[in-house]
Structure 1
Amino acid sequence: MTASALIISAPGSGHGKTLITAGLAQALLDQGKKVVVFKMGPDYLDPMFIRQATGLDVRQLDYWMLKPEEIAAELGRAAASADHVLIEGVMGLFDGRFSVASLAREFGIPVVVAADASGMAQTFGALMQGLANYDPQVNVAAVLANRVGSANHGAMLEESVRPPLRYLGWVERDEALVVPERHLGIHTDARQICIDTTRAMAAKLQPCLDKLPWQPLQVDASALQCPLSETRPLQGRRIAIARDAAFSFLYPANVDLLRRAGAEVCFFSPLADEPVPECDSLYLPGGYPELHLQALSDNRRSAESVRAHIVSGKPCLAECGGMLYLQTSLAAGEQTGTMLGLLPGEAVVGKRLARLGYQGLDGTTLRGHTFHYAALSDLPGVANASFQDGREGEPIYRLHNTLASFVHWYFASDPLRIVEWLQGHFSGVDN
């Protein structure tokens, strides 16, 4: 099977790429198609929306966290298992050092530009023409007008688009197509909101499906074999992962890598007060623990089992929200919750962004990113990550055989190091 592929991009952020990508995926699923969705960049929230709306795991394509040949391998695996591959871009088509255009150029994937057309008429066509002509090696094949005021408005927009650009159609401005809050953890009915909004968008996009400029995805999946698939260094090891609304920032590719390395992966929910399953290693990913302070404070069975695992000296990797769970306390707004007390200190989630950006571990190829609003009381680290420009990044903390930081690591950037960490050997961190 060789899938056909398409990139959904935009002139910038805020044009509705995520909902349009989710709507297209749902419309294709409704036709019985096998669909794989990717998101460019390290973001968790857009993939969370698409997953909650469609049930599809969304994988990352990121030129900083992954080498080009590893991106090719990801696309190759998708091409071998799906009918269609949808890729949601990040920011605007040509924005950033690792732009959406660079992916389109390298793999010959056609681009659909989805643009918020509210407040525009003929300028819409000029804007689309400019994007199409900016780089002749990037195939901007079609455009979609979003948030259109009326049928007359849609017709004006269509007249402004010049061939060979394909005008797919328009989606009207509609309250049913508005996601009320990007911070998905705020809504107890978040999943139903995602589903309802996406199904409404899928219905609007149905007439566009036959016009989509699909191209076969020509990628050799054998170009890169996971180095762990043959050696399987985690064979016989069981790795428990916290996964629920409080610990939801989990790259599907990280779980896949652990399995390809031979590990048996199991999940548990601290919010449901589930104990850590019998395991050799523990992984506490990030998420929204600050939105679930009462439950995490009250759920002692789960907390005691995490504490017992760590105090026993078994390996644990904790990232961002997972690390906050290990603090003495966690405060957000007027609420404070008692956490595990393993990392001494208090964590406070504020209203201002504390850290944002790609980070890596010096002397290694391990890479990840940070995005958080939290601050810790003074706590000495054993090492520091570094930003792309060399500035000192997030501290890395160690307790027994637990390694913790604010960095969300992308395991495939340095798979052997992650294997070592989950075995309790902290190369790159220990002096």
Structure 2
Amino acid sequence: MKGFIISGTATGAGKSTLTVGILAALKHLGLKVQAFKVGPDYLDPTYHRLTLAKPTYNLDEILTSPGLVRRLFYEKAETAEVAVVEGVMGLFDGRDEQFSGSTYRLAKLLNLPVILVVDAQNLGTTVAAQVYGYLKFKKNIKIAGIILNKVSGKNHEKHLLSALKPLGVKVFGVFYQNELPRLKSRHLGLIPATEEQNIVEIIKEIKDKVLAKINFADFLATLPELLVPKKLPSINFPNLKGKRIAYAFDKAFNFYYQEAIEYLRRSNAEVFAVSPLNDSDFPPVDLLFLGGGYPELFAGELSINQKFIQNLKKKIQGGLRVYAECGGFIYLTSGVKVKEQTYPLTGILPGEMELTGKLQGLGYYRGKPVGGYLGKNYQNEIWGHKFHYSTYSGSQDNPAYLLWKNGREAFDGVARDNIFASFLHLNFYGKADLVKALIGGRKG
């Protein structure tokens, strides 16, 4: 099996587009491919899934652990011929001086060679100094080669290749400015692949460009064989036999980690999707998981579906446990203000949300549940991730979490006896005690 990480010199270098192209090209060549994403990103994996027509997985040492990352990677890559990991931000960008959460740390942890995408649009001979720095900055990972992106033309390409020649670095491909279709973005990152118009045609165009520019026989021959360890780090599964879990999944709610959903199923729970946009009701369950997404963009449609809202309220009154993250938190409030328009929502929690033009929370947070059923049943600290532009106007007399970041602490979210809602995203993978604390309780 071959394996590698696609990283970039910085955010915006083009690694997401090239990852899609490389995945599509490898699949076109008849190879069995498994994709992964470094970090807590929900959006890039939607393109991996659509390209390969199979699940993709997040490798996050902070939200899970280094051992669980190794287990997940090797377990899912074992049946593949090529494992492709898309990095996060620039190669060495992490949350601290130890590079925590960075692509570099993942490459080191999994002993994977790096393919570095270089944004060359404003570079001349300096490209050699920049690439030399990446090659020498840390010697405990291997940069197998580079891809030059956003090159202005043939003369620019010739100049860059001449400057790089003394380094002896492998250049796998050169792509010109605007040669590759640009994947569209909005306030939380890429538009989900399922919303992108003509996405199948766009992926095909990227694939054709990549196949024309990269010699994959040479590319794969350069990479070492990746050996799967005989013994993987252990993982604990709670016994959830007889438990039923519903999670909201449609164009308004789709921020979930595949490995977390699979973990619940492998713990013997019955897990199924429901749609607050399209369904009128859902069967009795032990837990409703309202994940993140873009409810603010589909608030008008969500508010029209009063049958679902009324049935949800009845179930909550009957004792249904609800766990809500970010977009799910928004949905539980009285409404959301987008620009100058306020859209009513469920009104299950008091106060409303407002989508602002400014980031309100970004990055990893260490937290402890302090309210509701989770605060009573789970006393451990936990790592989560926030990325939101919305603010909450309601009272925080009954917060869900106490959070810490950069020496500061703050409360987040709202908790009631059977509702736990906040802006914090968690990854349940491997967290048996947390899952048991979330799911106990009577059905609604």
Same fold (TM > 0.5): yes
Give 1:284 deviation, angstroms: 0.5
* 1:116 maps to amino acid: D
Corresponding residue for 1:320? 326
Paired residues for 1:258-337 under 5 Å: 258-337=264-343
Equivalents in 1 of 2:3, 2:199: separation in Å? 24
Corresponding residue for 2:114? 111
Corresponding residue for 2:20? 22
Distance 1:185 1:39, change over 3 A: closer
Corresponding residue for 2:371? none
* 2:114 maps to amino acid: V
Paired residues for 1:300-379 under 5 Å: 300-362=306-368, 364-379=380-395
Corresponding residue for 1:428? none
Equivalents in 1 of 2:259, 2:381: separation in Å? 17
Given that residues 23 and 205 in structure 1 are in contact (C-alpha distance below 8 angstroms), is that contact kept between their aligned partners in structure 2? yes
Q: Deviations over 1:257-299 (max 9, x none)?
A: 1111111111111122342234222111011000011100101
Given that residues 367 and 402 in structure 2 are in contact (C-alpha distance below 8 angstroms), is that contact kept between their aligned partners in structure 1? yes
Distance 1:332 1:309, change over 3 A: same
Equivalents in 1 of 2:145, 2:334: separation in Å? 53
Corresponding residue for 2:10? 12
Equivalents in 2 of 1:221, 1:148: separation in Å? 44
Percent identity over paired residues:
32
Which of the residues 139, 159, 182 maps onto 1:178? 182
Equivalents in 2 of 1:86, 1:136: separation in Å? 22
Which of the residues 34, 48, 51 maps onto 1:50? 48
Alignment size in residue pairs? 420
Corresponding residue for 1:409? 426
Give 1:121 deviation, angstroms: 2.9
Distance 1:181 1:361, change over 3 A: closer
Q: CA RMSD in A?
A: 2.3
Given that residues 394 and 405 in structure 1 are in contact (C-alpha distance below 8 angstroms), is that contact kept between their aligned partners in structure 2? no
Give 1:176 deviation, angstroms: 5.2
Give 1:318 deviation, angstroms: 0.8
Equivalents in 2 of 1:21, 1:178: separation in Å? 13
Equivalents in 1 of 2:34, 2:62: separation in Å? 22
Equivalents in 2 of 1:122, 1:201: separation in Å? 28
Given that residues 268 and 277 in structure 1 are in contact (C-alpha distance below 8 angstroms), is that contact kept between their aligned partners in structure 2? no
Distance 1:57 1:386, change over 3 A: same
Equivalents in 1 of 2:38, 2:244: separation in Å? 31
Which of the residues 61, 65, 69 maps onto 2:59? 61
Q: Does 1:210 find its partner at 2:217?
A: yes
Task: Tell me whether 144-153 or 281-290 shows the greater mean CA deviation.
Answer: 144-153
Which of the residues 394, 400, 423 maps onto 2:440? 423
Which of the residues 126, 129, 153 maps onto 2:129? 126
Gaps of 5+ in 1: 426-431
Equivalents in 1 of 2:73, 2:193: separation in Å? 34
Could you tell me the TM-score, scaled by structure 2's length?
A: 0.88
Give 1:406 deviation, angstroms: 0.9
* 1:115 maps to amino acid: V
Equivalents in 2 of 1:117, 1:357: separation in Å? 28
Given that residues 180 and 209 in structure 2 are in contact (C-alpha distance below 8 angstroms), is that contact kept between their aligned partners in structure 1? no
Corresponding residue for 1:387? 404
Q: Deviations over 1:358-414 (max 9, x none)?
A: 123335253211111111123222442323434224424223412111111111263
Q: Deviations over 1:223-246 (max 9, x none)?
A: 223211xxx421111111100111
Q: Does 1:77 find its partner at 2:75?
A: yes
Could you tell me the TM-score, scaled by structure 1's length?
A: 0.90
Given that residues 38 and 106 in structure 2 are in contact (C-alpha distance below 8 angstroms), is that contact kept between their aligned partners in structure 1? no
Corresponding residue for 2:376? none
* 2:105 maps to amino acid: S
Given that residues 343 and 399 in structure 1 are in contact (C-alpha distance below 8 angstroms), is that contact kept between their aligned partners in structure 2? no
Which of the residues 145, 150, 154 maps onto 2:157? 154
Equivalents in 1 of 2:194, 2:381: separation in Å? 40
